[in-house]
Structure 1
Amino acid sequence: MTVYGVGLGPGDPGLVTVRGKDILEEASVVYSPGRLSRSVATEHVSEERVGDLDFPMTRDEDELREAWKAAAAEIAPRAREETVAFVTLGDPNVYSTFGHLRRTLDAFYPDVDVETVPGVSAVTAFTTALGIEVASGTSLTLQEAAGEATPTGPDRMVLFKVTDAPATHERLVAAGYDVVYGRRLYMEQGETLVTDDPEELADRDYYTLAYAEKEGVETTAATAAFDVETEVEQ
């Protein structure tokens, strides 16, 4: 059978795709790597069909490898006989825990089929939440801003995992950016917040992103504009 990596979207159960919901209903067991993904999954499947996997919050590579090997060892035997789903917030191939599982299964259990079911990602959903249009021809860079990292350079950036908003804001403003933040966008757990004031985000939260745009950068969006006076005369 198959292991499906199912993207649950940014946190709202209503943003799970039709294909994702079909796989969840078909799967004999739905594995969840965390509390938030579990809470979304259980809106579509019963608690009894959800299996939890333990992944330590650590940067120790050896410990992480052992955790993924243990997860693969749990999942592979079932996947040989049944349809299995592994759920993750967002999209399985964008900043996702599923990538670790897929690589581990490929290395140790190459006979197990693995497929991904795309999910609505914050990469795209943030535009609606923050009221931003990424027009045709606009360049946009996706970066991770966890820890002390605050990349600068491109005209427009989306920064994920902004765990220190005040420090990130200070560096971005010094580099000439206007910045707006979104926290827990589309999530039912915790407070959703959109703000340009980093002090409102002083407490650390992994689920915070920033949209940074260079001051004065020009955007010429494609439009269906007409010369009104000429049209009237005709």
Structure 2
Amino acid sequence: MLVAVGIGPGDPELLTLKAVRLIEDADAVFVPGNVAKDIISPFRKDPVALSFPMTDDQEYIKECMEKNAEIIAPFARRGLAVFCILGDPNFYGTFGRLCEIIDKKYPEIEYETVPGISSITAFASASGVSVNGGITITDGSDVNSRIMLKIRNPKETAESLKSEGYNEFVLAEKMYMKDQKIYKNEELPENSAYFSVMFARIK
């Protein structure tokens, strides 16, 4: 099993209890460089640092991803391998690209993610900014996704967004609570709970 663990924006005290437990219990821990290594140092002294280059050279990035997957695979096959990622592993992280390689070369390896404090929410606290209303978050590329909170009529909302070109929809209801439910596309219900988040994307 391979678990990608979000380790937050930089302060070791901002790791979740679950993140710390997994880091301490893992058979092997991998980090994408010295910054992540320093963040988890209070909890683990033997992480393996992997190379994830900051470059626009897509071929070189793919080559590094394949090498990293090859290093991680033996540990993930026989035990628990933890890959630590700054912020949140699913929020502008490298884990998705690594999983594409694993799916192709090591389909027998199961993986999952554990959320961490992302740079977006960390920014709000660090700067004292209170975020309300609609916002746009981008890494400089075209905006093709929306995240909407407190959606009470997801099916109707999805139908409206289809006219704007959106064609992929996911609804998360009561996340990480005992009644959590995840709906995708045609599964979307007519109504949902107050604690709901809806994701829409143009694919």
How many Å separate the matches in 2 of 1:114 and 1:62? 24
Q: Deviations over 1:174-226 (max 9, x none)?
A: xxxxxxxxxxxxxxxxxxxxxxxxxxxxxxxxxxxxxxxxxxxxxxxxxxxxx
Structure 1 vs Structure 2 CA RMSD: 1.7
Letter in 2 for 1:58: T
SS at match of 2:78: coil
Q: Which residue of 1 aligns with 2:89?
A: 92
Partner in structure 2 of residue 42 of structure 1:
41
**C-alpha displacement of 1:50:** 0.6
CA offsets per residue over residues 100-137 of structure 1, 9 Å max, x none?
Answer: 212211221111010101001111121111111123xx
Q: Structure 2: which amino acid aligns with 1:139?
A: G
The 3-state SS of whatever aligns with 1:80 is helix
Counterpart of 2:14 in structure 1 is 15
Cα offset for 1:56?
2.8
| 1:57 to partner: Cα distance | 3.1
Letter in 2 for 1:33: P
Question: For residues 215-234 of structure 1, what are the structure 2 equivalents within 5 Å?
Answer: none
Whole-angstrom distance in 1 between the partners of 2:100 and 2:12: 27
Separation in 2, partners of 1:55, 1:125: 23
Counterparts of 2:70 and 2:50, CA distance in 1? 11
The AA in structure 2 aligned to 1:42 is S
Tell me by how many angstroms 1:36 deviates. Answer: 0.7
Tell me which residue corresponds to 1:68. Answer: 65
Q: 2: CA distance between counterparts of 1:41 and 1:97?
A: 18
Q: TM-score normalised to the size of structure 1?
A: 0.58
Alignment match, 1:52: 49
CA distance in 1, matches of 2:75, 2:103: 16
Aligned partner of 1:7: which letter?
G
Matched, 1:143 2:142: no
The share of aligned pairs that are identical, in percent, is 38
Q: Distance in 2 between matches of 1:73 and 1:97?
A: 16
Structure with higher Rg: it is 1
- Match among 96, 109, 113 for residue 110 of structure 2: 113
1:33 aligns with 2:32: yes
Q: Structure 1 CA distance, aligned partners of 2:54 and 2:74?
A: 26
Mapped to 2, the partners of 1:121 and 1:38 lie a distance apart of 18
Describe the superposition over 1:8-27 as per-residue Cα deviations: whole angstroms up to 9, x where unpaired.
00010000001111110110
Runs of 4+ in 1 over 2 A off after TM superposition: 55-58
Question: Distance in 2 between the 1:39 and 1:82 partners?
Answer: 24
* Counterparts of 1:17 and 1:101, CA distance in 2: 23
In the superposition, the TM-score normalised over structure 2's length comes to 0.66
Q: Tell me what 1:130 maps to.
A: 127
